[in-house]
């Protein structure tokens, strides 16, 4: 049986109403986690009032040896 460990990473958005992320920084962080053995499982935004997204949450997993 495979056992997993999980990790969440929070990315802040920018812009007046939010929703914008620096795609180069985002890709860099995703690749860094991939090199460390983490697999991206899910990615979702957190909505504040009036639908503005302030954060993007990335969920990673990797097997426990």
Q: Could you report the per-residue pLDDT of 5-40, keeping only the tens digit for each?
A: 999 999 888 776 666 788 999 999 999 999 999 999
Counted domains in the chain: 1
Q: Which domain holds residue 17?
A: 4-50+58-63
pLDDT in tens, 38-65: 999 999 988 766 777 788 899 999 999 8
How would DSSP label each residue in 22-63? -HHHHHHHHHHHHHTT-EEEEEEEEE-GGG-EEEEEEEEEEE
């Amino acid at each position: 049986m495979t056992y997993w460990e999980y990790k969440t990473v929070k990315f802040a958005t920018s812009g007046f109403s939010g929703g914008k992320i620096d795609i180069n920084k985002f890709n860099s962080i995703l690749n860094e986690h991939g090199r460390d053995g983490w697999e991206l499982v899910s990615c979702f935004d957190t909505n504040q009032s009036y639908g503005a997204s302030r954060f993007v949450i990335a969920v990673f997993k990797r097997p426990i040896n």
